[in-house]
Structure 1
Amino acid sequence: MKIGPIGVWPPVVLAPMAGITNAPFRVLCREQGAGLFVCEMITTRALVERNPKTLRMIRFADAEKPRSIQLYGVDPETVGRAVKMIAAEDLADHVDLNFGCPVPKVTRRGGGSALPYKRNLLRRILRAAVRNAGPLPVTMKMRKGIDDEHLTYLEAGRIAVEEGVAAIALHARTAKQHYGGTADWAAIKRLKEAVPEIPVLGNGDIWSADDALRMVAETGCDGVVVGRGCLGRPWLFRDLENAFNGDPARCRPSLGEVAEVMVRHAEGLVACFDTERYAVADFRKHVSWYLKGFTVGSGLRRELTTAESLEQLRAAAARLERGQPWPPNTDTPRGKSGERQRVHLPEGWLDDPWDCVVPDDAESDISGG
Structure 2
Amino acid sequence: MSTALAPHPGLTLGPLHVDTPVVLAPMAGVTNAAYRRLCAEQGAGLYVCEMITSRGIVERDDHTLRMLVFDEAETTRSVQLYGTDPTYVGKAAEILCAEYGVAHVDLNFGCPVPKVTRKGGGGALPWKRGLLGEILDAAVAACAPYDVPVTMKTRLGIDADHLTYRDAGRIAQESGCAAIALHGRTVEQAYAGEADWAPIGELVADLDIPVLGNGDVWEADDALRMVEQTGAAGVVVGRGCLGRPWLFADLAAAFAGAPRPALPTLGEVADMMRRHAELLGAIMGETRGCVELRKHVSWYLKGFPAGGDLRRALATVEDLAGLDALLARLDRSAPYPVSELGSPRGRQGSPRRRVALPEGWLEDADGSGTGVSEDAAEASGG
User: Is the 2:55–2:83 Cα contact (8 Å) retained in structure 1?
Assistant: yes
* TM superposition shift of 1:10: 1.1
User: Is the 2:157–2:186 Cα contact (8 Å) retained in structure 1?
Assistant: yes
Separation in 2 of the partners of 1:363 and 1:115?
16
User: Is the 1:73–1:363 Cα contact (8 Å) retained in structure 2?
Assistant: no
Separation in 2 of the partners of 1:215 and 1:261?
28
User: Residue 141 of structure 1: which of 134, 148, 153 is its match?
Assistant: 153
**Partner residue, 1:190:** 202
**Partner residue, 2:247:** 236
- What one-letter code is carried by the residue in structure 2 that aligns with 1:282? E
**Partner residue, 2:175:** 163
User: Is the 2:57–2:65 Cα contact (8 Å) retained in structure 1?
Assistant: yes
**Partner residue, 1:80:** 90
Separation in 1 of the partners of 2:178 and 2:61?
28
| 1:200 equivalent in alignment to 2:211 | yes
User: Is the 1:235–1:251 Cα contact (8 Å) retained in structure 2?
Assistant: no
Separation in 2 of the partners of 1:140 and 1:104?
20
- What one-letter code is carried by the residue in structure 1 that aligns with 2:242? L
User: Is the 2:42–2:248 Cα contact (8 Å) retained in structure 1?
Assistant: yes
1:132-170, Cα deviation, whole Å (9 max, x unpaired): 012100000000000000000000100000000000000
- What one-letter code is carried by the residue in structure 1 that aligns with 2:25? A
1:265-323, Cα deviation, whole Å (9 max, x unpaired): 1221122123x333322211100110111011111011001122222222111211111
SS at match of 2:125: helix
User: Is the 1:17–1:40 Cα contact (8 Å) retained in structure 2?
Assistant: yes
| Count of aligned residue pairs for this structure pair | 367
| 1:271 equivalent in alignment to 2:282 | yes
Separation in 2 of the partners of 1:323 and 1:57?
37
Separation in 1 of the partners of 2:175 and 2:183?
21
Identify if the C-alpha distance between structure 1 residues 113 and 251 changes in structure 2 by more than 3 Å, giving closer, same or farther: farther
- What one-letter code is carried by the residue in structure 1 that aligns with 2:244? R
**Partner residue, 1:65:** 75
Greater CA deviation, 329-338 or 220-229? Answer: 329-338
Greater CA deviation, 49-58 or 320-329? Answer: 49-58
User: Is the 1:254–1:324 Cα contact (8 Å) retained in structure 2?
Assistant: yes
Separation in 2 of the partners of 1:129 and 1:177?
28
User: Is the 2:53–2:376 Cα contact (8 Å) retained in structure 1?
Assistant: no
User: Is the 1:110–1:359 Cα contact (8 Å) retained in structure 2?
Assistant: no
* TM superposition shift of 1:53: 2.4
User: Residue 51 of structure 1: which of 40, 47, 61 is its match?
Assistant: 61
* Structure 2: stretches of 5+ with no match in the other structure: 1-10
**Partner residue, 2:238:** 227
* TM superposition shift of 1:90: 3.9
Separation in 2 of the partners of 1:366 and 1:179?
21
CA RMSD in angstroms comes to 1.3
Task: Give the alignment's TM-score, normalised by structure 1.
Answer: 0.97
SS at match of 1:329: helix
1:175-186 alignment runs, 5 A limit: 175-186=187-198
1:280-295 alignment runs, 5 A limit: 280-295=290-305
User: Residue 368 of structure 2: which of 350, 353, 356 is its match?
Assistant: 356
Greater CA deviation, 57-66 or 114-123? Answer: 57-66
User: Is the 2:188–2:354 Cα contact (8 Å) retained in structure 1?
Assistant: yes
* TM superposition shift of 1:245: 1.0
* Structure 1: stretches of 5+ with no match in the other structure: none
Separation in 1 of the partners of 2:359 and 2:323?
47
- What one-letter code is carried by the residue in structure 1 that aligns with 2:152? M
Task: Give the alignment's TM-score, normalised by structure 2.
Answer: 0.93
Greater CA deviation, 338-347 or 177-186? Answer: 338-347
| 1:95 equivalent in alignment to 2:101 | no
Separation in 2 of the partners of 1:102 and 1:366?
15
User: Is the 2:51–2:81 Cα contact (8 Å) retained in structure 1?
Assistant: yes
Separation in 2 of the partners of 1:192 and 1:179?
23
SS at match of 1:24: helix
**Partner residue, 2:52:** 42
Separation in 2 of the partners of 1:124 and 1:232?
38
SS at match of 2:106: strand
1:85-110, Cα deviation, whole Å (9 max, x unpaired): 11222431110000011001111111
Identify if the C-alpha distance between structure 1 residues 364 and 61 changes in structure 2 by more than 3 Å, giving closer, same or farther: closer
Separation in 2 of the partners of 1:87 and 1:145?
30
**Partner residue, 2:330:** 320
* TM superposition shift of 1:6: 0.7
**Partner residue, 2:229:** 218
Separation in 1 of the partners of 2:203 and 2:168?
10
Separation in 1 of the partners of 2:375 and 2:308?
44
* TM superposition shift of 1:203: 0.4
| 1:29 equivalent in alignment to 2:39 | yes
User: Residue 321 of structure 2: which of 311, 332, 342 is its match?
Assistant: 311
Greater CA deviation, 287-296 or 355-364? Answer: 355-364
User: Is the 1:75–1:358 Cα contact (8 Å) retained in structure 2?
Assistant: no
